[in-house]
């Protein structure tokens, strides 16, 4: 089957109207790839992050300008490449995301909603998560509010920036609970 | 000598009685009964072009070009028949972009492929308004349907199957092509089908269809 598939799931226990500000990372983390590759996805990163930011602003949230961890929630954007990858909410938790001036490393995430699908390659993952200060240590948990998996937006060849932006827009559009 | 004489009397009396009053007692069937017996069994094979209606049309809106029926009818009177029909219908559709609610509470959007199969045996009854080369009729059917519905977005798939109640009402006609001891006819009908098949957002799947086929009346 051809085409881009977007899967989204939000935490039933999150009150999205109570959240106000978000912190946006500066990079797209490459979570897995076969064969191994550098740790960051580099293509079109500013536009990908801008699209995420624009959707969150359109939903009524404000971009946090101070220390990232004082924002109401953080945003992570990840790329999954390779084959037969299986994604569960909170996959980023073994990695560090760089917010402006602030590394934030996941140690062990928690989520009160379930696995949302299988993915093979070329998938962009967007997650909204809570911040804890200080960052979680071993055995500590971080709550994930919302996950989106954008299947087939990062192909091996022929990356299409317009399609990637459309998929990001669709992810937020099909998540009506994620709004102030 | 009494027995041979009695036999001779009987042998001579019966033909004589027949000659005296040939129409008084007749063992020949009347014309009406003879027609009834000639075409009292009907075999139909029809192609069905169907469209979903009601909530089923929101699941699959495309017209189904895959539908067939095989039916046998037996006249119980000149104008009434009962029978048994077996039908198969396949409805399918691929959408470039559709949204699908997942069992775990999530939402998937993307190219969506769906199909639904229906295999149904039903008892039928038909009433024929005329007994001539063009023969309009109305009919009903009652029975069961086995359904299988499937939908898929990327590698996420859902399916549902089961036995349910099915019924239909139809109006149609036969157009006889040749008259003899048996006759070949073309048949056309419009059929409304109601089932209790429910899956995904579909409640009591219903269809409206047109049937075209041939009939062999024996």
Residues of B in contact with A1 (CB under 8 A): 111, 113, 152, 154
Q: Is residue B78 part of a domain?
A: yes
- pLDDT higher than threshold 70 for residue A95: no
**What is the mean pLDDT of the segment spanning A109-121?**
50
Q: Is residue B10 part of a domain?
A: no
pLDDT of residue A42: 82
- pLDDT higher than threshold 60 for residue B31: no
**Range 121-180 of A in CB contact (< 8 A) with B:** 151-152, 170, 174-175
DSSP conformation letters of B153-186: ETTEEEEEEEEEEEEEEEEEEEEES--SSSEEEE
**What is the mean pLDDT of the segment spanning A73-77?**
92
pLDDT of residue A168: 96
Between these two residues, A122 and A100, which has the higher pLDDT value? A122
A13–chain B Cβ distance below 8 A for any pair = no
Average pLDDT over chain B reads 83
How many Å lie between the alpha carbon of B160 and the closest alpha carbon of chain A?
Answer: 20
Domains and CATH numbers, chain A: 5-173 (3.30.160.670)
**Could you give the number of structural domains in chain B?**
1
CB pairs under 8 A between A and B: 58
Average pLDDT over chain A reads 78
CA angle A108, A172, A54 (to 5 degrees): 95
Among A4, A116, A170, beta carbon nearest to B106 = A116
ipTM: 0.74
- Helix and strand numbers, DSSP H then E, in chain A: 2, 13
Range of the domain at B169: 40-217
- Residue B148's closest CA among B156, B160, B157? B160
**Contact (CB, 8 A) for A80 and A125:** yes
3-state secondary structure at position A177: coil
Range ranked top by mean pLDDT from A134-143, B68-77, B177-186 = B68-77
Residues of A in contact with B103 (CB under 8 A): none
Residues of A in contact with B155 (CB under 8 A): 117-118, 120
Q: Is residue B35 part of a domain?
A: no
The domain that contains B154 carries what CATH number?
A: 2.40.160.20
Chain A residue nearest residue B106, CA to CA:
A9
Between these two residues, B177 and B50, which has the higher pLDDT value? B50
Q: Is residue B3 part of a domain?
A: no
Question: Taking the C-alpha atoms of B59, B63, B66 and B68 in order, what is their torsion angle to the nearest 10 degrees?
Answer: 100
Asked if the Cβ–Cβ distance from A5 to B108 is below 8 Å, we say yes
């Amino acid at each position: 089957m051809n085409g881009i598939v977007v899967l989204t799931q939000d935490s039933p226990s999150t009150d999205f109207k109570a959240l106000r500000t978000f912190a946006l990372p500066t990079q797209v983390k490459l979570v897995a790839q076969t064969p191994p590759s550098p740790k960051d996805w580099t293509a079109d990163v500013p536009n990908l992050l801008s699209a995420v930011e624009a959707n969150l602003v359109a939903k009524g949230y404000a971009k946090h300008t101070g220390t990232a961890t004082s924002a109401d929630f953080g945003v992570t954007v990840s790329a999954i490449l390779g084959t037969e990858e299986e994604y569960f909410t909170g996959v980023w938790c073994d990695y560090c995301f760089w917010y402006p001036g602030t590394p934030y490393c996941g140690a062990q995430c928690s989520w009160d909603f379930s696995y949302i699908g299988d993915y093979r390659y070329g998938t962009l993952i967007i997650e909204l998560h809570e911040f804890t200060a200080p960052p979680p240590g071993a055995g500590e948990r971080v709550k994930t509010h919302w996950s989106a998996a954008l299947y087939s937006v990062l192909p091996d060849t022929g990356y299409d920036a317009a399609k990637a932006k459309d998929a990001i827009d669709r992810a937020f559009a099909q998540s009506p609970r994620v709004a102030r | 000598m009494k027995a041979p004489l009695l036999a001779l009397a009987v042998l001579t009396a019966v033909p004589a009685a027949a000659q005296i009053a040939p129409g008084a007692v007749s063992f020949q069937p009347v014309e009406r009964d003879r027609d009834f017996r000639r075409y009292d069994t009907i075999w139909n094979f029809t192609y069905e072009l169907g469209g979903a209606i009601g909530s089923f049309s929101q699941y699959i809106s495309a017209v189904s070009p895959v539908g067939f029926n095989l039916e046998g009818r037996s006249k119980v009177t000149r104008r009434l028949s009962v029978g048994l029909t077996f039908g198969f219908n396949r409805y399918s559709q691929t959408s470039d972009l559709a949204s699908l609610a997942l069992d775990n509470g999530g939402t998937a959007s993307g190219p969506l492929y769906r199909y639904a199969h229906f295999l149904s045996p039903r008892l039928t009854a038909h009433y024929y308004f005329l007994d001539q080369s063009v023969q309009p009729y109305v009919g009903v059917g009652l029975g069961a349907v086995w359904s299988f519905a499937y939908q898929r977005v990327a590698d996420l798939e859902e399916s549902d199957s089961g036995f349910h109640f099915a019924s239909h009402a139809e109006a149609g006609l036969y157009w006889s092509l040749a008259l003899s001891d048996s006759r070949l006819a073309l048949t056309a009908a419009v059929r409304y089908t109601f089932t209790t098949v429910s899956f995904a957002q579909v409640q009591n799947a219903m269809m409206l269809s047109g049937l075209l086929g041939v009939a062999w009346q024996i």
